[in-house]
Amino acid sequence: MKVAAVGECTIDRYVEQGIECVGGISLNFAVNAKQLGAAEVALVSCTGTDPAATTVRARVAMAGLSMSDLASLPGRTASQIIHLGADGERIFPPGGYDAGVLERFHLDDAALSKLRGADVVAFPWFRQIAELVAPLLDPHELATTRVIDLLDGADLGPDLAGIDALLGCSDIAFISGGEELAERLLPRSRRTRSLIVVTHGSAGSSALVRGERLVTAAVPVPQSETIDSTGCGDAFQAAFTLQYMGNGDVRAALEAGARRAALVLRHLGATLDDG
């Protein structure tokens, strides 16, 4: 399976711990996909020319990801400030995200041509990189499976007003929220081709398939082993996608996602070590 993760790679700065880790939604998805057995995984993103760029590029190379689509522009690599709660829950403070050179990075014709050869193109959608991923929303641009991460839906507008257009441009759509969100989206699942997956954190996950809701529990992790929730959602999405693309079994995909997220939760940083 050929997978392309389009969007962001970042340096995650853990304030209280005083450490930096490589992260970013797209990089996290790509690393997990590669570790889970995808034959070829490309990260289509951009670093700056700062010391963080060297760190990010070393992680990409170590993970065995294709480097040919990882661009470089003068300036700062994207970064995210992270606070960790006592329970391992990561907190992104207001104003803690710096898109850096991603504000100037665009998908050119060569990049789009390569993406057409992928089996899966996965990308996040949020305000700071909406322009970057906009070409992927063109229904005529790609004939491949498109997987979109809507995060917590905060940038979709009041009452998730912007979600319908995005569902129409994706085959699998992930969004995080509680059971109330899953119930609100259930009617929408009846009129969209997109498989909607709502992740509930420690409360499990729901898949909404043409008006039917399938629910799977999270894999329990003892409090003593709960380290860092950063990247758990990205790991879930990668595992779900590969499982679902393999056999089309939604429930098995939910369970695969839960298992992968539980592993990342036991680890400081957004991805597991290679090997």
Residue 241: pLDDT band with limits 50, 70, 90: very high
Question: What is residue 142's predicted lDDT score, i.e. its pLDDT?
Answer: 81
Beta strands in 31-170 (DSSP E): 40-47, 70-72, 79-84, 90-91, 97-98, 120-124, 145-149
Residue 273 lies in a domain: no
Render pLDDT for 168-198 as a digit per residue (tens, 0 to 9).
999 999 999 999 999 999 999 998 989 999 9
For the record, the structure tokens of 175 come out as 């969004």
Residue 138 lies in a domain: yes
Query: pLDDT per residue over 11-68, tens digit each?
Result: 999 999 999 999 999 999 999 999 999 999 999 999 999 999 999 999 999 999 988 9
| Residue 112 located in a structural domain | yes
Summarised one tens digit per residue, pLDDT across range 56-104 is 999 999 999 988 999 999 999 999 999 999 889 999 999 999 999 999 9
Q: What is the CATH number of the domain that holds 163?
A: 3.40.1190.20
In a domain, 62, yes or no: yes
Q: What is the pLDDT of residue 140?
A: 80
Q: Which domain holds residue 219?
A: 2-265
Q: What is the pLDDT of residue 141?
A: 81
Per-residue pLDDT tens digits for 216-235: 999 999 999 999 999 999 99
* pLDDT 10s digits, 116-127: 999 999 999 999
pTM of the shown model: 0.97
Q: How confident is the model at residue 274 (pLDDT cuts 50, 70, 90)?
A: confident
* 179 compared with 139, residue with greater pLDDT: 179
The answer as to whether 106 is a domain residue is yes
Q: Sign of the C-alpha dihedral, residues 75, 109, 245, 203?
A: positive
Query: 139: pLDDT confidence band, cut at 50, 70 and 90?
Result: confident
Domain count along the chain = 1
In a domain, 274, yes or no: no
Inside any domain, residue 19: yes
Cα(241)–Cα(194) distance, rounded to whole angstroms?
13
Mean pLDDT of all residues in 119-140? 94
Domain-located, residue 270: no
**Structure confidence at residue 193 (pLDDT):** 87
CA end-to-end span of the chain: 20
> What is the pLDDT at residue 127?
94
Half-sphere exposure of residue 109, counting CA atoms within 13 Å on the CB side?
A: 0
Structure tokens belonging to residue 131 = 């322009």
Q: Is the pLDDT of residue 253 over 80?
A: yes
